[in-house]
Amino acid sequence: KKLKVLGVAGSLRKGSYNKALLRAALEESPEDVELEVFDLEGIPPYNQDLDNDMPAKVKEFKSKIKAADAILIATPEYNYSVPGVLKNAIDWASRPPGDNSWDDKPVAIMSASIGMLAGARAQYHLRQTFVYINMHPVNRPEIMVPFAADKVDANGRVTDEKTRRKIKELLESLASWTRRLKR
């Protein structure tokens, strides 16, 4: 049976390099993986008053997460941390108490940056959050794409072969990690 993986980008912009990583992941998916990408556009700022009356888009997000065997996140680093857009979506889906959609899910992270450190700091902040929401991150390979502007063309395609190969490896690693956890 194919593994269902839900891809989420931590950037809303059309020309996002991180969205480009997810598009490359769609193209490089191994046979046994069915990847679907969810766009965070339209998820409002988190408000605890709505925990028992969540917006439709959040409900949809939560049910997609629950239906997935594993999660793939591609995120930029904003000011040395996780972009608010992504953290906000993580917070919504972790609620209400007793209905944390992320619970027990395997997850893999990628990050792309125009800079040299390639989002490494955001990745480690994200891993800290995974502890509380009880997600199980893949450790290797670590995919941090520096100088992303040189590796994505005008159509938003990742042209760098080494990056594409790494993405494929990450998906293979996520798939075998997920099957291991399911045993």
Side chain identity at 180, as an amino acid letter?
A: R
Side chain identity at 136, as an amino acid letter?
A: H
Q: How far is the CB of 20 from ligand FNR (least distance, A)?
A: 8
Parallel, antiparallel or unpaired: strands 143-145 and 70-75: unpaired
Q: Does 157 help bind ligand FNR (rule: CB under 6 A)?
A: no
Q: Does 100 help bind ligand FNR (rule: CB under 6 A)?
A: no
Which of 6, 8, 18, 22 binds ligand FNR (CB under 6 A)? It is 18
Radius of gyration from C-alpha coordinates of the chain: 15
Q: Does 181 help bind ligand FNR (rule: CB under 6 A)?
A: no
Give alpha helix (H) positions in the chain: 17-28, 56-67, 84-93, 120-133, 161-182
Q: How far is the CB of 90 from ligand FNR (least distance, A)?
A: 17
Q: Does 124 help bind ligand FNR (rule: CB under 6 A)?
A: no
- Site residues (CB under 6 A) for ligand FNR, limited to 39-58: none
CA dihedral 153, 156, 158, 159 (to 10 degrees): -30
> Using CB under 6 A as the criterion, which residues of the chain lie in contact with ligand FNR when the complex forms?
11, 13, 16-18, 76-80, 112-115, 117, 119
